[in-house]
Structure 1
Amino acid sequence: MIYGSLPPMKVVKIGGGCLKDGKAARTIIQLIASRGQGDIFVVSAFYGVTNILLSGIESSLESEESIGKTITQLKTLHHEIIHFLFSDPARIHELKEKMDRVLHKLERYYYGISFTREATPRMRDMVATFGERMSALVLSGAVELLGVDTGIALPEELGIITDGKFMDATALMNPTGENLKAFMEREMTGSKVLFVPGFYGISETGEITTFGRGGSDYSAAVVAAGVRAEVLEIWKDTPGFMTADPDNIPHCRLIPRLTYEEAAELAYTGAGILHPRTVEPVRASRIDIAIKNTYDPDARGSLITGDAIETDRVIKSVSYTKDISILKIHASGVGARQGILSLITEAVSGQGINIKSVITSQTCISLLVSRKDIGRAHECVGNIRPIPFREASFRADVALVSIVGEGLHLNRGIAAKCFTAVSRANVNVEMISSGTSDAALYFLVQESSLDDTIQALHATFFD
């Protein structure tokens, strides 16, 4: 039992990639109706909706006239899905009226942004959550048509409490767990399907705060940990974690089992299967994460667990991300000069720029940041006074490559095999980060050499 008389339950997260249109949504709805009774479904927005919502903020700042176009675009997209899923005119009319009331509220926020000519983080978070609210409304109504008892619980109703940080919040698990326990004992049954909009929670003062882009995975993990679910399932339109990106290595293979650490490292370096923070809430509760393919729901998929499995193959996957750039700060003896590192990192992070990694030597500090942030990061350190370094430069023509496997640093020869393979492919390694994780070895190469690098590594470790 979980709480009171409740039977064991699953928490299932449905991503936007599984909700591309009405046809894809119908597949999901049939799966929920046949397999999901007694479970909680944390849902993303329909595919592309979050981008429309965020673009609408920028358009509202420029012109009040754009607001109507944004609302019409959202209304048309959701109404088309409703007409695809429903045939009864009365039900269509009822659901469209509910949808239009949600869109009317959104429209008022856009007009507020346009009138004040300001989009605060608080307002951006509020607007960004509307996609998940609308998808929960449609999916709940469609599953109910199939004779299943359904309900919708907004995060503010569930009491998913956050630290209050706009656009990058973290759930506070103790109060959240207590709130979820009380709600489930009061509202949940063994036959009900409960839909929860993902992506956000509320601060202790009642403010809507999002978990960042892709944060529905994280919010599903928060719910799973809060209700002590049997398992957290992530429904995707892909088989699971693979030994490489199929776009680079078409013959790559499924990884049937990973540890929490391995999954987090793969998520960080670009495997779009999972949000990097998803493992945080469930790791403490020892809840497994199962990646399932909605187009082949009985397939094995990938299981993420706390138990490392001993195998002859230490390396599980070769991964990469192109969303990386290097900011280099050159100065003599930087490693011996007190405070220079904190001065530089504070200048960059103080502008809301996420520093992915810091690598230092005695003559250079290298910050790894997203490509979209590199220009601002360079400007930030250039504004430090007095200037504590000789020169600041940056590069954006690189890619971050990793080999991932639990305990790779305890196995002799792994790094040698890695860099021998890269060298034989005539690829120059720009920078190495080793030892920071027990499950990954990172290095940078020129983006033009990325394909050769991935193919060489996969051939070495898997072929």
Structure 2
Amino acid sequence: MRVVSKFGGSVLRDVEGYRKAAQIVKELLNDTENEVVVVVSAMKGITDSLLRVSENPHRGWREYLRALQRRHERVLDQLNADEKWKESLRELFDNLNKVLWALEILKESTPRTKDYILSFGERSSSVLMAAALESVGIDAEPVFPERLGIYVEGEPPNVTILYDMTFEKVRENLGSILSEGRIPVATGFLGINIEGVITNLGRGGSDLTATILGAALNADEVRLYTDVDGIKTANPREFKEAVTIPELSLYEAIELARLGAKRLHPKTFEPLLRRPTDVRILSLYNPHGSSTLISYKKQGPNLKAVAVMNDLALISVKGVGMVEMKGTAAKVMEACAKVGANIYAISQPISETSITIAVNKGFTDIVAKAVKNSLGLYGIDVEVDIKPDVSAVSIVGKGLEEPTYVSNVLRELPNEPVLLVTKGPSDLSLTIFTTHRAARSIASSFHKAILKEMEKYYGVAK
């Protein structure tokens, strides 16, 4: 069995996190049939520290750097690590020191240099993890992004993975390490372009790294170790009664990732569309307890989770001149794209007298002006109506693919304002746009329906 095990920054806080991770890998390797590839994020808080340094390379970076180096050195000291790991760490920080010194002289930072600086969080963490694995008798090797071979194009966070090239390089580079009986410790979060320049995959990118490696290496399972025991039915900070979802289909997981569940990278499960691999999300502190298994199978109850997105606004453009005017919706979307606004939803009645879009409320005024001006160029005179402070409440589950089941879910709606409803014929989610004040009430009603479905399916809400 081949397993890719990813350990996130939420659990790699100190030496205990690395020790627990190493013990888990050792336990997996106790079965001689198992092969393990490890992926690590930076230590907790390190990426944010490096980001601050990269954005202000001329302000107090030496003090920051000394503190970061001491924090990593303490972990190696507590592990009684071999001198080779201490030397590797010193070399990394010496290189980082040179980069920051150069930026101080130049008094500027570019996206390229920022990504290179950020990469030192994962590089250093891979050295600590390799030392931790060696402390429990496992021969491990850090693998930095230049050797790992995850190739991308575009600018973060909207990079595109060059899968064919990536899969070939990953199999070649990690395969050789595995064939020699060693454990690769790969840096998460990072990729390179075809010129070999470091780039990042976006926040949460280490999860994406793990699934890319899982697909490339034909792994049996990808395990994402974190500080919670899987994906919850709702945000546990807002819903104390939220429980772990035992099983999700791949497409349900993709939908939840795009809605921001567990802060998963929105492309976390994209590689698995190319090569089916099970993913398990579980707790580092209780690895044999509850967890969420994600697979291609459509299993589990009809409803799985609810998610709430705040800080939205609805913008409606109305005018009789829009009726039978071809390309009106395209013109609205083009106007939004030109000002850099993402459209979360779009709706048009069959009468064609209006179009409503949902955008981030920070773009409200600029989008309203851009849309009105764009349509005005074509002689379409419109009124613009803005509803600020809007929230979107989404419920996700395989049952929503069945049109007749949707009516059951809509019956759960409380007597609250419904500003817009979005649902495609085979979509796995249903979204209600409402006022910010009413969002909690609608989300709570949906969550009760989810727990009822779980109880019906499992006998008890897990």
Pairwise TM-score range, normalised by the shorter structure: 0.7 to 0.9
Are 1:401 and 2:383 an aligned pair? Answer: no
Question: Where does residue 406 of structure 2 map in the other structure?
Answer: 415
Question: Which runs of structure 1 show a deviation greater than 6 angstroms over 4 or more consecutive aligned residues?
Answer: none
Partner of 1:43: 40
Q: CA deviation at 1:349?
A: 3.1
Match for residue 281 of structure 1 among 271, 281, 290: 271
**Deviation of 1:253 (Å):** 2.6
Q: Secondary structure at the match of 1:297?
A: coil
TM-score by length of 2: 0.85
Distance 1:190 1:335 in 2: 68
State how far apart, in whole Å, the 2-side matches of 1:385 and 1:120 are.
37
**Contact residue 303 and residue 398 of structure 2 kept, 8 A:** yes
**CA offsets per residue over residues 126-180 of structure 1, 9 Å max, x none?**
3332221221122112222222100111232122211243432121111111112
Call closer, same or farther: CA 1:128–1:284 in 2, change over 3 Å.
same
Secondary structure at 1:178's aligned position in 2?
helix
CA spacing shift, 1:92–1:225, aligned 2, 3 Å = closer
Taking the aligned partners of 2:354 and 2:124, their CA distance within structure 1 comes to 49
In structure 1, how many angstroms separate the alpha carbons of the residues matched to 2:365 and 2:14? 37
Cα distance change, pair 371–52 in 1 and its aligned pair in 2 (3 A): farther
- CA distance 1:151–1:381, shift in 2 (3 Å): farther
Tell me, in whole angstroms, the C-alpha distance in 2 between the residues paired with 1:168 and 1:211: 8
Contact 1:230 1:287 in 2 (8 A): yes
Work out whether 1:25 is the aligned partner of 2:26.
no
Paired with 2:280 and 2:163, the residues of 1 have a C-alpha distance of 22
Segment of structure 1 superposing worse, 91-100 or 228-237:
91-100
* Aligned partner letter, 2:100: E
Bigger CA drift: 345-354 or 208-217? Answer: 345-354
CA drift at 1:295:
1.1
Match of 1:248 in 2: 238
Alignment root-mean-square deviation, CA: 3.0
Residue correspondence of structure 1 range 41-440 to structure 2 within 5 A: 41-60=38-57, 64-83=58-77, 85-87=78-80, 90=83, 93-94=86-87, 96-108=89-101, 110-111=103-104, 115=107, 117=108, 119-189=109-179, 191-272=181-262, 274-309=264-299, 313-322=301-310, 324-332=311-319, 333-334=321-322, 336-350=324-338, 352-361=340-349, 362-370=352-360, 377=367, 390-392=382-384, 395=387, 397-412=389-404, 414-423=405-414, 426-435=415-424, 438-440=427-429
1:5 paired residue number: none
Unaligned runs of 5+ in 1: 1-7
Q: Distance in 1 between matches of 2:444 and 2:196?
A: 50
Contact 1:198 1:215 in 2 (8 A): yes
Deviation at 1:396, TM superposition (A): 5.0
Deviates more, 1:125-134 or 1:86-95: 86-95
Query: Relative to 1, partners in 2 of residues 1:417 and 1:131: Cα closer, same or farther, differing over 3 Å?
Result: same
Q: If the length of structure 1 is used for normalisation, what is the TM-score?
A: 0.85
Structure 2 segments unaligned to the other structure (5+ residues): 453-462
Taking a change above 3 Å as real, the CA distance of residues 337 and 271 of structure 1, as seen in their structure-2 partners, is: same
| Cα offset, 1:451, TM superposition | 2.5
Partner residue, 1:443: 432
Letter in 2 for 1:403: I
Distance in 1 separating the partners of 2:242 and 2:394? 16
Out of 4, 7, 11, the residue aligned to residue 11 of structure 1 is: 4
Query: Do the aligned residues in 2 keep the contact of 1:334 with 1:365 (CA within 8 Å)?
Result: no
Residues 347 and 57 of structure 1: CA distance in aligned 2, closer, same or farther (over 3 Å): farther
Alignment: residue pair count:
443
Query: How far apart are residue 19 of structure 1 and its match?
Result: 1.6
